[in-house]
Amino acid sequence: MSESYIQNMFAERIGGANFGKDTVIYKFEKIKRAKMAAKKAHPGVEIIDMGVGEPDEMADAGVVAKLAEEAAKPENRGYSDNGIQEFKDAAAIYLERVFGIKGLNPETEIIHGIGSKPVLAMLPAAFINPGDITIMPVPNYPVLGTLTKWFGGQVVSLPITKENNFLPDLDSLDSDTRKRAKLLYLNYPNNPTGASATREFFEKVVRFAKENHIIVVHDAAYAGLMFDGEKPLSFLTVDGAKDVGVELFSLSKAFNMTGWRLAAVAGNELIIKGFATVKDNNDSGQFIAIQKAGVYAVEHLEITDRISRKYSRRHDMLVEVLREVGFDARKPKGSFYLYVEVPKGIKDGRRFESAEDFSQYLITEKLISTVPWDDAGRYVRFSVTFIADGIEEEKMVMDEIKRRLSDVEFEF
Ligand SMILES: Cc1ncc(COP(=O)(O)O)c(C=O)c1O
């Protein structure tokens, strides 16, 4: 086929005339390919998938029933624009009950999003002019940074490492960066590190934001999922936070609703107003029946409690198995991610050049899928969202991991 003129029309932000010709294979594609190859090479052996970043279960039966009921009502059929008040009111009550966020005005300080991903994608349109900076911890969930660049902005990275307790060192930023920075992205409990923030850190963030006139976007996608009596920590419960930022609460992980696409953005009224204007030009709101099912979900906190207990139990099991084979695995306070440093190699055997190399080894030789991160140290991310129906099956998965790893001695 001769080359279409369309090839020369792509915007520079997605590669210009070279769009689609990139020969670099990206991480997630590599994992997918390695999984397919491993399946082919070992047709009878099941892959243990610890790579996926979404729940293995469907939404709660009550939520599903509520959707069916609401979907059947003619009055719910149309555009919802910037959302129904009922969801915003329910979100305000939920945020106070679960996180202790007091005094939010559900009319002006809360808005829904069709998941938190599009919220992160749209916020730069409201704030980023060419040359402006978004500060991003590394590793990260990249959407806010990607869209910042698409709007002509720049991303400044701050590594989060074991040494800084996976909390970015804001003091390391130079004065030019502080002057040009408009957005600071934070995400706790964190994907991929599983780390939680501290109140002291959030207090410092508020001071830093006020001093330097920066907007804080705290992505609390995993905030409901806490273990062993740990209380979820909301950025908005810190004094002054509402003057400087917004916090994003997703129903995806805390209520097993990834495909449903529903989130709440809460915090500074002006930031929300700017976001609402951009949103109004991007979408026409989530289906009202889904928002109503979301109301049901946030009124039933036991759903998140049950999900958290499951992940907590799985973390306990996985930490034990990984420690037995030599990993320095530590259970996170929240989230479904277990982030562990990779071995240097195998005793008297191969060396691992990088986390990616190790992750490829795990999938190819052991049929265990993980996600590697080489951005700040060498780590793989295990997610306790692997498929298993109940404790007995979870134990079988763990026994199988132990068995597959028992014939090697890793060197760390
Ligand atoms: C840190 C983080 N933020 C946001 C999202 C997207 O969540 P949502 O389903 O609400 O768009 C994810 C999903 O994996 C995530 O890990």
Q: Identify whether residues 334 and 321 lie together within a single domain.
A: yes
Q: Are residues 111 and 236 in the same domain?
A: yes
Q: Which pLDDT tens digit goes with each residue over 138-155?
A: 999 999 999 999 999 999
Domain final residue, candidates 257, 278, 300: 300
Query: Ligand 1: does its nearest atom lie under 6 Å from the Cβ of 382?
Result: no
Distance from the alpha carbon of residue 117 to the mean position of ligand 1, in angstroms: 6
Q: Whose CA is nearest to atom 16 of ligand 1?
A: 191
**316 and 277 within one domain:** no
Write out the residue range of the structural domain in which residue 267 sits. Answer: 62-300
Per-residue pLDDT reduced to its tens digit, 186-226: 999 999 999 999 999 999 999 999 999 999 999 999 999 99
Q: Do the Cβ atoms of 156 and 133 come closer than 8 Å?
A: yes
Both 248 and 390 in one domain: the answer is: no
Shared-domain flag, residues 114 and 148? yes
**Atom 3 in ligand 1: which residue has the minimum CA distance?**
221
Is the C-beta atom of 335 inside 6 A of ligand 1? Answer: no
| Residue 57 is assigned to a structural domain of this protein | no
Does the beta carbon of 381 lie inside 6 Å of ligand 1? no
Q: Which atom of ligand 1 is nearest to the CA of 219?
A: 3
Residue 18 covered by a domain: no
- The share of the chain scoring above pLDDT 70, in percent, equals 100
Which residue, 269, 300, 331, sits at the end of a domain?
A: 300
The answer to whether position 110 is within a domain reads yes
Assign 381 to helix, strand or coil: strand
Q: Is the CB of 121 under 6 A from ligand 1?
A: no
Residue 257 CA: distances (Å) to CA of 108, 294, 394: 25, 9, 22
- The total of structural domains in the chain comes to 2
Q: Tell whether 35 is covered by a domain.
A: yes
Mean pLDDT of 257-279: 98
Q: pTM of whole model > 0.85?
A: yes
Supply the CATH number for residue 125's domain: 3.40.640.10
- Among 300, 328, 354, the domain-final residue is 300
pLDDT in tens, 152-193: 999 999 999 999 999 999 999 999 999 999 999 999 999 999
Q: Three-state SS across 301-362?
A: CHHHHHHHHHHHHHHHHHHHHHHHCCCCCCCCCECCEEEEECCCEECCCCECCCHHHHHHHH
Q: Is the pLDDT of residue 1 over 70?
A: no
Q: Give the pLDDT confidence score for residue 2 in this predicted structure.
A: 65
* Same-domain pairing of 38 and 161: no
| Averaged pLDDT for residues 323-346 | 97
In this structure, the number of other CB atoms found within 10 A of the CB of residue 84 comes to 19
The answer to whether residue 22 scores a pLDDT higher than 90 is: no
Report whether pLDDT(387) > 70: yes
Asked if residue 346 and residue 385 are part of one domain, the reply reads: yes
Domain harbouring 382, CATH code:
3.90.1150.10
Verify that 248 and 228 share a domain, yes or no.
yes
Q: What is the pLDDT of residues 56-112, one digit of tens each?
A: 999 999 999 999 999 999 999 999 999 999 999 999 999 999 999 999 999 999 999
Residue in 191, 247, 279 to alter for ligand 1 test, most ligand atoms within 8 A of Cβ: 191
Does 394 lie in the same domain as 278? no
